[in-house]
Amino acid sequence: MIAVIQRVQKAEVTVRGKTAGSIGAGLCILLGVAKGDSETEADYLAGRIAGLRIFADGNGKMNVSLKDISGSALVVSQFTLCGEWRKGRRPGFTAAAEPGEAERLYQYFCRVLQRMAVPVETGAFGAMMQVSLVNDGPVTFVLDTEK
């Protein structure tokens, strides 16, 4: 499972011109589910993201977590994160989980974050979406459960 997380002041995802999800301060999470991923990876990744100390404390140091600031998460499915790009010029996506399994684990990941008291907004799984955000910092991390 791969997540690109961006610390944001605000973020929004639209589908067919209508807002599907929007948050204020928190994290925009682009989530890719790979073949072989399970609830184990989703639990681990959600826990790491919720507790990762990447928000500024009173001294401006990255020392507090998403949970500490009562921040929200905008979780957007992103199968292209599982793209294989090293051969040729057209990426391949055979490493991505099948759509049904990917959606199940995507929804599961969102529920895990919610159980950790993180408010979650989402896009629409499998839809063409437009994501807009104001990156705060900028602060961006790539988290891969395989590494």
Domain-embedded: residue 40:
yes
Residue that is written with structure tokens 């977590």 in the block: 65
Q: CATH number of the domain at 113, please.
A: 3.50.80.10
In the chain, the number of structural domains is: 1
Percent of the chain at pLDDT > 70 equals: 100
Of 6, 14, 55, 78, catalytic: 78
**Residue 67 identity (one-letter amino acid):** K
Say what the pLDDT of residue 71 is: 97
Q: Catalytic pick from 9, 19, 40, 80?
A: 80
Catalytic residue among 6, 79, 109, 122: 79
pLDDT of residue 147: 79
Question: What mean pLDDT comes out for the span 35-59?
Answer: 97
* Any domain includes 145: no
Neighbour tally for 137: CB within 10 Å: 13
Q: What is the mean pLDDT of residues 47-73?
A: 96
Is residue 146 domain-resident?
A: no
CA distance 118 to 70: 7
Lowest mean pLDDT among 7-11, 35-39, 89-93: 89-93
Query: Cα(46)–Cα(3) distance, rounded to whole angstroms?
Result: 10
How many C-alpha atoms does 63 have within 13 Å on its Cβ side? 5
Q: Residue 88: what pLDDT?
A: 87
Quickly tell me which residue has 């759509």 as its tokens. 99
Is residue 105 in some structural domain? yes
Q: Domain span at residue 129?
A: 2-135
The answer for residues whose C-beta is within 8 angstroms of residue 127's C-beta and 6 or more apart is 15, 16
CA distance 33 to 47: 16
Residue 120 included in any domain: yes
> What whole-number percentage of the chain has pLDDT above 90?
93
- Whether 6 is a known active-site residue: answer no
| Per-residue pLDDT tens over the stretch 112-132 | 999 999 999 999 999 999 999
130 is catalytic: no
